[in-house]
Chains A and B, each alone.
Chain A
């Protein structure tokens, strides 16, 4: 019975979020088209530098697209509830916060995978790229473990719109932009100014991108990937519970200060 309630609770968020996607399908098409064009344009920059460079850049665009969708969907789900004023109804429902947030995370994963796969297929067809050398199992493993760490980051970021609808949205966008800068999405992190580099080492995206390039460009084996897999898994294992704890504390604070109202 308890398990059924948890399952229904998580399904609620997946169904609701897909209903919202269906409702605003026009915007989905626009965003998808923009992301495809963005990936193609970035890939074209490398065309004169050889196929490997094209793939290097495309991997950046694809991985960043997937991770930012995860991050965004999780933090935005709270922001959207704040804007609509439904957060109070969700928070007073008899489900645990874990069920609530896991439901949003599952939706984000499904949505991110579908969207990124679509873009990947289009980009591969456009450039006529061969990924025969790639270790596809390794690719999948890296995608899953890095997904966990980005879910953790999304949970931490979801706290911001919980505390302030508008300012929280500003802060999550800035946070995301900083991750883009420091993680070596389109360049190696050693081109960054020395004082920024320490930040690169704490971004899970840095390791994800490095591993993805090893897999797709050089066909790295599972053995080669093991240290990165353990590192990313470790980041996820720390960040997800940490995100949950921070969210619970922020919820308590919001309830103490009366910040759950629509006007916030």
Chain B
């Protein structure tokens, strides 16, 4: 069964200059798959995630999640998805518990269930329960991101949109998050993940298939093994250099 289907998606932002964020993107992700998208900042990764999250309306093309159109049937789509973004967006003045309770209520969960589910996930992520009641502004970036991971996973979504969940984390936190994603794929049957990352190694290790996106277009796509074979390279980073024709660099603005 297809978890995600995108067909001819295009999005242009008219800011001071015209930015073509997505350019005729088509994609299919099967249920139970971890699909990775790698690309520099501003390449269109977050735009695609936002469209699938029902937060952005494409100019052309269409996208569906488990058969539901993200624009016309957004209510049904929202019941099936959750998301982690690169910046852990929270009410930073209040605690992890208060933020998670707020998020859980929006998904129809009761107080007790929210606490049990989130503490279980946070425990697996190596987050100390003592910090659960502290204002988020007092926690490190890594700890905040773990709370964001718990917020996305505890609602048991069928599709998780992970937008650079490990960017900016220290190596220990990064490993905790990666291990948790791997474990979740084993534990929660039926879960599908779309992961965007800057980390080629992360994509290689976690994803069943990987696509490289440059200037809003997929330039290559396949399983890590297929890509290495197809491009005759030792790792994804070398493939990236080959398909983009320039070295890995981070642009200023993320699209």
Contact = CB atoms under 8 A, between A and B. Distances in A.
Interface of A: 4-5, 8-9, 11-13, 15-16, 19-20, 23-24, 80, 84-86, 88-96, 252, 255-258, 260, 262
Interface in B188-238: none
B168 interface: no
Contact of A255 (B56, B75, B87): B56
Interface of B: 11, 13, 47, 50, 53-57, 75, 78-79, 81-83, 85, 87, 89-94, 98, 101-103, 105-110, 135, 151
Nearest to B89: A85
A252 B54 CA distance: 11
Nearest to B148: A89
Contacts of B108: 4-5, 8-9, 94
14 contacts: A5-B108, A12-B105, A16-B94, A19-B94, A84-B92, A88-B89, A89-B83, A91-B55, A92-B78, A93-B103, A258-B50, A258-B56, A260-B56, A262-B89
Q: A interface, by DSSP: helix, strand, loop or mixed?
A: helix
Contacts of A258: 11, 13, 47, 50, 56
A29 to B, nearest CB: 16
Contacts of B85: 88
A95 B102 CA distance: 13
Nearest to A96: B75
A80 B94 CA distance: 13
B55 A86 contact: no
Contact of B89 (A4, A13, A89, A96): A89
A88 B163 CA distance: 13
Contacts of B87: 85, 262
Contacts of A11: 105
Most buried by B among A13, A16, A92, A252: A92
Contact of B106 (A12, A84, A88): A12
A15 B102 contact: yes
B98 A16 contact: yes
A262 B86 CA distance: 12
B89 A94 contact: no
A23 B89 contact: no
Given A89-B151, A92-B81, 16 more contacts: A8-B105, A12-B103, A15-B98, A15-B105, A16-B98, A84-B90, A88-B83, A89-B103, A91-B54, A94-B78, A94-B106, A255-B56, A256-B57, A257-B13, A258-B56, A262-B89
